[in-house]
Amino acid sequence: MNKKTLRDVDLKGKRVVMRVDFNVPIKEGSIKDDTRIKGALPSIRHVLDNGGSLVLMSHLGRPKGKGYEAEFSLKPVAEYLANLLGRPVVFAPDCANADADVAALQPGGIVMLENTRFYKAEDGKVKPAEGMSDEELKAKKAELKAKREELAKKLASYGDIYCNDAFGTAHRAHASTAVICKFVKESVAGFLMEKEIEYLGNAVEKPTRPFVAILGGAKVSDKLAVVKNLLDKVDTLIIGGGMAYTFLKAQGHDVGNSLCEQDQLDYARDMIEKAKANGKQFLLPVDNVAADKFDAEANTQIVGNDIPAGWMALDIGPKTTELYAAAIKGAKTVVWNGPMGCFEMKKFAGGTTGVCQAVAESGAVSIIGGGDSVSAVNKSGLADKMTHISTGGGASLEFLEGKELPGVAALSDK
């Protein structure tokens, strides 16, 4: 990686402002999944063990940005972290007014700031209100941008070094994820961030071949840029999930009531042709699990690529699963984003489970790109067979699109 990391800076006696991703599920004050908190521990421990102190900040959920909202408070997370580390974590209840707590920090000490998204200035986004003129919108945008800079400057003032270990929000140019870098001398990546970028970056830019990418999920339009970017790099592209039916329709099939984006048919056709012209294998379903309604108890039948009228395809069929598994078997690098069907319902989970098993058994370097594919892998109990499971759905998708992530771009170069 061409960006500085925590290993490249002297931490002794330094205060590190660290952006972590502690956006964890909390129910009635108790943390339901601590994966993200544990994911940040190597960076946290490294700073503390090397004589530094820490100011931690994160967002949690999607508060309105108008101040404190109890359900989005990070207080339970601060308490949980203190237990995990076996040392006190001072909780600062207002992220932009924490000077006293920060000034009292000693080497080895930790202050955790309240949710940065209690300030609208964190994302600095403007939603155009009804009846707002272009001029008014422009003025509002400028106002919020200035506030975002102000908040970033305040957060930067808490430390000597900024560290970003929150890959999950690296695709956002927020005050705490990117803008802050303008106001600190050194901005470095944490270890989790470094790991994400190295795994995803190596898989996409320097894959051991054959390189197979598997794309699924609901919408083609969400993954247009990913298909386009990966098509140049892979040997085989496998398409499943709801997005497959736009491709099948583009080939002249009847797709019944399956998901289909009419406005993407030309694009789908272009992609199929581009793959052919470049000698890439482009795999689409050959059979499907069709349902008479979108329901866990629906009647189902296995059909070919013409879905009967009134039916909808909710999973790839057994022959397709076999075909995809065979392609995955020969792979040396696999990147997977998006389920092959509506895996949340048992009747439509077969394709996703089959693909998951094939990836696990392939022996390939396997990168699971966040979001629903991660839930599917966890559900199948095969998570420990994967090389890397990304912690950031949106961020990993933008990475696979070939986009530069603002939270990474803003870090100091090596």
- Give the interface with ligand AMP as residue ranges (CB under 6 A): 217-219, 222, 241-242, 259, 313-314, 338-339, 341-342, 344, 371-372
Give the number of C-alpha atoms closer than 13 A to the C-alpha of residue 412, restricted to the C-beta side: 17
Q: Which residues of 353-369 are buried (b: 16+ CB within 10 A; e: fewer)?
A: bbbbbbbbebebbbbbb
Q: Which listed residue (4, 15, 19, 36) is catalytic?
A: 36
Q: Which is nearer to ligand AMP, 342 or 410 (CB)?
A: 342
Asked if 47 contacts 6 with a C-beta cutoff of 8 angstroms, the reply is: yes
Question: 261 by DSSP, 3-state: which?
Answer: coil
* Angstrom distance (rounded) from CA 364 to CA 202: 13
Cβ 241 to ligand AMP shortest distance, Å: 4
Cβ 271 to ligand AMP shortest distance, Å: 17
End-to-end CA, the chain: 8
Q: Which listed residue (219, 228, 280, 329) is catalytic?
A: 219
* Angstrom distance (rounded) from CA 273 to CA 290: 27
Q: Which listed residue (147, 319, 347, 394) is catalytic?
A: 394
Name the H helices within 90-169: 99-103, 134-156
Q: Which listed residue (217, 354, 369, 371) is catalytic?
A: 371
The DSSP H or E segment spanning 92 is strand 90-92
Cβ 227 to ligand AMP shortest distance, Å: 12
Would residue 407 show up in a list of annotated catalytic residues for this protein? no
Would residue 256 show up in a list of annotated catalytic residues for this protein? no
What are the beta bridge partners of residue 238?
Answer: 214, 283
Question: 16 by DSSP, 3-state: which?
Answer: strand
Cβ 376 to ligand AMP shortest distance, Å: 9
Would residue 168 show up in a list of annotated catalytic residues for this protein? no
Would residue 330 show up in a list of annotated catalytic residues for this protein? no
The DSSP H or E segment spanning 186 is strand 186-189
Cβ 218 to ligand AMP shortest distance, Å: 4
* Angstrom distance (rounded) from CA 188 to CA 82: 24
Query: Which positions are catalytic?
Result: 36, 219, 371, 394
